[in-house]
Amino acid sequence: MADYFTHFSCLLDVGTPSNAALAVALFQQLRLEDQEADEPQVSGFELSIQDGPDSSILWLRDDEHADIEQVIGFVLRLAAEIDLTGIWGFDYALTCSRPRLEAFGGGAHVIDLGARKSIGWISTHEWLTAALNGEDIDAVEALAQ
C-alpha cells in the first residue's frame, strides 16, 4: 500500500513581533477548535516564529500530510485579522512512498494579502497534461520560461 504526502515549507513576514505573536495565538486557538470540529481549519500544518520571539517571520510547514487549502485559509484569515498587505506565495510538493503513476508533482499559489484572495496558482500535473495534449501551448510555453 502506498502513502501519499503533500509537503511544503515557507516563510511569511507579518511585519512586527507582536503580529507574529498574534498569529501564533490565532493558530493555537484554531487548533483547539479543530479538536471538536467536523471541518478542521489548521490541522494540516504547523506554525512557529522563525528565529525567536523578537522576529516578525512565521515559519509554516507540513506536519507530514499538509492541507494546502487550510494554509491558504489561515493566511487569508490572518491577513484580515492583522491587516496584512502585499503579495505572498508558496510552493508545495506531492510525493508518494512508492512509485505510482500520477502520484508525484506539485504546485504553487500566489495570494494578494490586501485583497484577501488567491490571485494565481499552478499544478505541475495539470500543466504537464496540457502540454502533452497540445492544449493552450502558448500559455504552457510561457510558464516554462
The per-residue pLDDT for 139 is 63
The per-residue pLDDT for 140 is 57
Question: Is this model's pTM higher than 0.85 or not?
Answer: yes
Across the chain, what does the average pLDDT equal? 91
Beta bridge partners of 108: 91, 122
Closest CA to 118 of 108, 128, 127, 126: 108
For cell 510525493, the residue is: 95
Tens digits of residue pLDDT in 8-50? 999 999 999 999 999 999 999 999 999 888 998 998 899 999 9
pLDDT-derived band at 51, boundaries 50, 70, 90: very high
The per-residue pLDDT for 138 is 65
Distance in angstroms (rounded) separating the CA atoms of residues 134 and 90? 28
